[in-house]
C-alpha cells in the first residue's frame, strides 16, 4: 500500500511540480526583464528651453510609448494634472507586445513669464509601470514687456507747476531662432503726452535670450480735480498694437487730513484731527474758524510738516450735515483746508 501511494505522489510531482511558478510570477518575471515597460525613465521629462511667449502661443511634444513586454498593456486612465498649462491626448489605450503609440502634450505658453510646467500621468495595468508621470516644461520670456524706471507711487500735488515725468523701459526679447522685434520702428500712442527718450539700446544676454531696450517718458498731468487717474500707452507697429501698458497715478491736495470727517456726539467732547504735508513741505496753521459757536478748535501741536487740531464742544444735534471747520494755512498750494463734521442725534 505504501509503495502504491509513493508511486501516486511521484506521478503528481512530475505532472505539476516541474514548473512551480504561478501565472502572476510569470508576469512579474517577464516585466522585470524590461522595467521600462512603456517608456524609459529618461524620456519622461522634456523641456523646450527658453521660448518667446506671446498671446495664444502653444507648443506640441509627443512622447513615444512602446510595449516592450511579452503581454498586453492597457492604459486605464490619462490624467491631466495641470489643466492650466496644457492639453493631453493619446493615440491608443491598449498595446499588444511590440505595439506603440504616442502621448501628445500641448504646452500652453501664452504670455507667461518664467517657468511653465505641465504634468500628465498615465495609469496602466502594468505591474512594472502602474503609474507613469510626464513632465513638459519651458521657460517663457515675453516678446515685449515694460519696466518702470522712475515711476513713483507718491501722489502728485494738485497745482504743481510741472507735470511729473515718469520714465519706463520697453524690453524686446528674442532667441537664436526668433529675432527680437526692432524697437526702432515702434510707435507710442496715448491719451497723455508720451515720447521716446532716445534710440534703442543693442541686445544683451539674459536667460538664453537676446534683449534689446528703449526708454520712453510719460508726462503725468497734475491739473484738474483731485483723485485717481489712469491712462494707457500703446506700443504699435503701424496699425498693429504690440503691447498695452497701463498707467495709474493720484492727484492729491498737498495736505492730508485724518480723519476725513469729524463725528461729534451731543453732549460729548470730540477728539483730534491730524493735518500732514504729503511731500514733507513745511507749513503753518494761521487760524481756525467754526460755523457753530458751540464747537471750538485749537492747535495743540505745531511741527514743521504735521499739525494736530483738538476739536471740543457741546453742540446740539442737527440735520445739517455740511458744517465745516475752516483751517487756514500759509501754504500757497492749499491756503484753506475744510474739515466737515457731523453731530449725531
Model confidence over 147-202: pLDDT tens digits? Answer: 988 866 678 887 777 788 899 999 999 988 888 999 999 999 999 999 999 999 98
Does 55 map to a domain? yes
Of 252, 273, 303, the residue at which a domain comes to its end is 252
Please, what is the average pLDDT of the chain?
82
Quick one: average pLDDT of 41-52?
92
**pLDDT score at 260:** 85
Element (H, E) at 268: none
Summarize pLDDT for 188-232 with one digit per residue, the tens: 999 999 999 999 998 777 667 889 999 999 998 887 778 888 899
Structural domain for 107, as ranges:
29-142
- Confidence at residue 24, expressed as pLDDT on a 0 to 100 scale: 35
User: Computed from CA positions of residues 192, 197, 199, 202, in that sequence, does the dihedral angle turn out positive or negative?
Assistant: negative
Tell whether 322 is covered by a domain: yes
CATH of the domain at 200: 2.60.40
Determine which of 74-78, 90-94, 204-208, 326-330 has the lowest per-residue pLDDT on average: 204-208
28-42, 251-265, 308-322, range with the lowest pLDDT = 28-42
Write the Ramachandran bin of 9: left for phi over 0, alpha for psi from -120 to 50, otherwise beta: alpha
Residues 136, 96: one domain? yes
Instruction: Tell me: cis bond preceding 259? Omega within 30 of 0 counts.
Output: yes
9 domain-assigned:
no
Same domain, 150 and 248: yes
310 versus 237: the higher-pLDDT residue is 237
Query: Is residue 114 domain-resident?
Result: yes
Convert the pLDDT of each residue in 11-41 to its tens digit: 444 444 434 333 333 333 334 434 457 888 8
What percent of the chain has a predicted confidence (pLDDT) above 70? 82
Q: Look at residue 268 in the predicted model and tell me its pLDDT.
A: 62
Question: Is pTM beyond 0.85 here?
Answer: no
SS3 category, 262:
strand
Q: For residues 189 and 111, what is the distance between their CA atoms, to the nearest angstrom?
A: 22
Give the C-alpha separation, 178 to 117, whole Å. 22
E strands of 45-193, at which residues? 45-53, 58-66, 73-80, 86-90, 94-95, 100-108, 114-124, 131-142, 144-148, 156-157, 164-174, 187-190
More confident: 281 or 123: 123
Ranking 39-48, 205-214, 324-333 by mean pLDDT, the lowest is 205-214
**Strands ordered across the beta sheet of 336-343:** 262-264, 336-343, 324-329, 285-290
DSSP 185: G
Give the cell for residue 208: 538664453
User: Rounded to whole angstroms, how far apart are CA atoms 108 and 88?
Assistant: 11
Domain final residue pick, 234, 252, 270: 252
Residue 74, pLDDT score: 94
Residue 293 belongs to a domain with what CATH number? 2.60.40.10
Instruction: Indicate whether 239 pLDDT > 60.
Output: yes
Strands 94-95, 73-80: pairing is antiparallel
Kind of pairing, strands 100-108 and 86-90? antiparallel
Q: For residue 2, tell me if it sits in a domain.
A: no
Q: How many domains is the chain built from?
A: 3
Q: How many CA atoms lie within 13 A of 82 on its CB side?
A: 17
pLDDT higher than 80, residue 265: no
Amino acid at each position: 500500500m505504501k509503495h502504491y501511494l509513493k508511486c501516486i505522489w511521484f506521478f503528481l510531482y512530475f505532472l505539476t511540480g516541474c514548473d512551480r511558478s504561478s501565472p502572476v510570477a510569470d508576469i512579474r518575471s517577464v516585466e522585470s526583464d524590461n522595467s521600462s515597460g512603456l517608456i524609459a525613465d529618461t524620456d519622461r521629462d522634456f523641456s523646450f528651453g527658453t521660448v518667446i511667449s506671446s498671446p495664444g502661443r502653444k507648443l506640441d511634444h509627443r512622447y513615444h510609448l512602446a510595449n516592450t513586454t511579452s503581454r498586453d498593456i492597457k492604459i486605464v486612465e490619462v490624467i491631466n494634472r495641470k489643466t492650466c498649462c496644457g492639453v493631453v491626448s493619446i493615440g491608443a489605450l491598449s498595446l499588444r507586445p511590440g505595439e506603440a503609440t504616442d502621448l501628445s502634450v500641448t504646452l500652453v505658453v501664452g504670455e507667461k513669464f518664467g517657468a511653465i510646467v505641465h504634468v500628465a500621468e498615465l495609469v496602466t495595468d502594468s505591474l512594472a509601470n502602474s503609474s507613469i508621470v510626464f513632465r513638459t516644461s519651458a521657460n517663457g520670456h515675453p516678446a515685449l514687456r515694460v519696466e518702470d524706471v522712475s515711476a513713483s507711487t507718491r501722489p502728485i500735488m494738485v497745482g504743481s507747476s510741472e507735470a511729473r515725468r515718469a520714465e519706463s523701459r520697453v524690453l524686446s526679447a528674442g532667441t537664436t531662432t526668433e529675432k527680437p522685434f526692432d524697437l526702432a520702428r515702434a510707435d507710442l500712442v496715448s491719451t497723455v503726452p508720451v515720447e521716446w527718450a532716445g534710440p534703442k539700446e543693442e541686445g544683451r544676454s539674459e536667460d538664453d535670450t537676446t534683449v534689446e531696450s528703449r526708454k520712453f517718458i510719460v508726462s503725468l498731468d497734475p491739473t484738474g480735480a483731485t483723485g485717481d487717474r489712469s491712462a494707457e500707452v500703446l506700443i504699435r507697429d503701424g496699425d498693429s498694437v504690440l503691447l498695452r501698458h497701463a498707467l495709474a497715478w493720484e492727484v492729491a491736495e498737498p495736505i492730508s487730513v485724518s480723519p476725513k470727517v469729524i463725528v461729534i456726539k451731543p453732549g460729548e467732547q470730540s477728539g483730534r484731527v491730524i493735518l500732514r504735508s504729503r511731500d514733507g513741505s513745511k507749513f503753518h496753521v494761521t487760524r481756525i474758524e467754526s460755523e457753530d459757536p458751540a464747537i471750538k478748535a485749537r492747535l495743540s501741536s505745531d511741527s514743521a510738516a504735521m499739525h494736530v487740531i483738538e476739536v471740543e464742544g457741546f453742540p446740539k444735534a442737527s440735520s445739517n450735515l455740511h458744517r465745516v471747520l475752516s483751517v487756514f494755512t500759509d501754504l500757497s498750494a492749499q491756503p484753506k483746508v475744510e474739515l466737515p463734521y457731523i453731530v449725531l442725534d
